[in-house]
Amino acid sequence: MGFIYRIARRSKGDSSVCPIAPEWEFTVPFNRNEDWTHGPCFGSRGTFFADVTGDGKADIILVNEDTVTVRRSTGADFGPSPKANEDWTHGPYLGRHGIFFADVTGDGKADAIVVNTETVTVRRAV
């Protein structure tokens, strides 16, 4: 079982980290469920969330055998229907040991990264 920690500041200005007992209950301030895909939305090889457009909102990334598609976040949903799917690789893009999404170039857009036995390959988000 993990602990939740809090930082306590004393009057002298120094700080200490104190574990909070795991039996304490906390409420998480989430609102009600909202349908953001308006139907089924998943990739046969994986479903990921990362900001691939650089607008500060996590997009949904669907990895399938034949392609990687993206549905852009509007801030209120991931597009009106599957017609919102955009083909970003125009063909398969899979790694033997996995596919990942992270901003490796520092431009604010998550890039596609595949891990194979012999190398790691990156496709930059444009």
% residues pLDDT > 70 (the chain): 77
Q: Tokens 């046969």 appear where?
A: 44
* Strands (DSSP E) found in 37-82: 46-50, 59-63, 68-71
Question: Residue 1: pLDDT band by 50, 70, 90 thresholds?
Answer: very low
User: In b/e form, how buried is each residue of 16-28, taking b as 16+ CB within 10 angstroms?
Assistant: eeeeeeeeeeeee
Q: Inform me whether the pLDDT recorded for 22 exceeds 50.
A: yes
Is the pTM here over 0.85, yes or no?
no
Q: Any idea of the CA torsion for 8, 10, 14, 19, to the nearest 10 degrees?
A: -20
Question: In the numeric block, which tokens belong to residue 70?
Answer: 């993206």
Q: In what order do the strands lie in the sheet with 99-102?
A: 99-102, 111-115, 120-123
What is the average pLDDT value for the chain, to the nearest integer? 85
Q: Residue 86 belongs to what H/E stretch?
A: strand 86-87
Q: Inform me whether the pLDDT recorded for 14 exceeds 60.
A: no
Instruction: Say how many CA atoms lie within 13 Å of 85 toward its Cβ.
Output: 21
